[in-house]
Amino acid sequence: MSKLRFNITMSLDGFVAGPNQSLENPLGEGGVRLHDWAFALEAWRKANGQDGGEVNASTSVVEESLANIGAYIMGRNMFGGGSGPWPDDPWNGWWGANPPYHVPVFVLTNHARQPLSMEGGTTFNFVTDGIESTLEQAKEAAGDKDVMLSGGANVAQQYLAAELIDEMELHVVPLFLRDGARLFDNLRNDPELEQVRSIEAPGVTHLKYRVVK
């Protein structure tokens, strides 16, 4: 059955972005360091149209995170649209002409916008009627494949609180951010988790959990 999966990189003190996130600095102050482990990888670079990079114990984790995904869900900040109504001539997000998704992406927003078809099979769909409806539409688009929740923190918190996530992988990095977006704030309950596996890799540990329903 199609699952809602969720992968995110978290500092040791629980933050997934630094303070003062903005259009200019979407990961917040100091937040970009969270992703050093991924930027170094051939598997990540290839998926994002870049050459070079390493092969190490994180490679299989990244490959697994890219496999069997039929649709993505993300918040508007992660798409790259700021807040408020879309301007008359809106830009097309952070992800360039050929975004690294290659399947339908459902962007949660309060402001309607026509779908945006990009090169390479990515279509951004803008959904204004909440997380449940977004998940339904994404699952329908994904067919037998899974839906991947990409973030950011606010959207992830909403899906966690609603207990709609089936599987979660945390990439825990040895950093303290001390402020910013804390992933596990605002939980309404404490869903039962089962540890699926942990993988040690250079500069990161990958912790995978299944939500018991």
> Which member of 38, 148, 177, 181 binds its own copies (CB under 8 A)?
177
187 binds its own copies (CB under 8 A): yes
3-class secondary structure for 171-182? Answer: EEECCCCCCCEE
Q: Is 203 in the site for its own copies (CB under 8 A)?
A: yes
- Sign of the Cα torsion 102, 104, 105, 107 reads positive
Is 19 a binding residue for its own copies by CB under 8 A? The answer is no
Q: Is 153 in the site for its own copies (CB under 8 A)?
A: no
Q: Which stretch binds its own copies (CB under 8 A): 110-118, 126-134, 141-149, 175-183?
A: 175-183
Segment interacting with its own copies (CB under 8 A) among 45-53, 100-108, 129-137, 174-182: 174-182
Tell the smallest beta-carbon distance from residue 194 to its own copies (Å): 7
Residue 207 interacts with its own copies (CB under 8 A)?
yes
DSSP per-residue string spanning 39-57: HTBHHHHHHTT----B-ST
Q: Which two tokens stand for residue 29?
A: 């102050």
3 state SS of 203: coil
Residue with smaller CB distance to its own copies, 119 or 185:
185
CA pair distance 204, 170, nearest whole angstrom: 10
Rule CB under 8 A: say whether 39 interacts with its own copies: no
Q: How many residues does the chain have?
A: 213
- Asked if 205 interacts with its own copies (CB under 8 A), we say yes
Q: Residues 13, 119, 132, 140: which binds its own copies (CB under 8 A)?
A: 13
Nearest residue (CB) to its own copies, 13 versus 119: 13
Written as one letter, the residue type at 184 is: F
Which of 97/195 has CB closer to its own copies?
195
Question: Distance between CA 85 and CA 80 in Å, rounded?
Answer: 13
Strand 181-182 to 15-17 pairing: antiparallel
Question: What is the dihedral sign for C-alpha 130, 122, 63, 182?
Answer: negative
Interface with its own copies includes 204 (CB under 8 A)? yes
Which of 7, 14, 83, 147 is in the footprint of its own copies by CB under 8 A? 14
Report strand pairing: 167-173 vs 204-211. Answer: antiparallel
Residues of this chain that bind its own copies (CB under 8 A): 12-14, 170, 172, 174-178, 184, 187, 190-191, 193-195, 197-200, 202-205, 207, 209
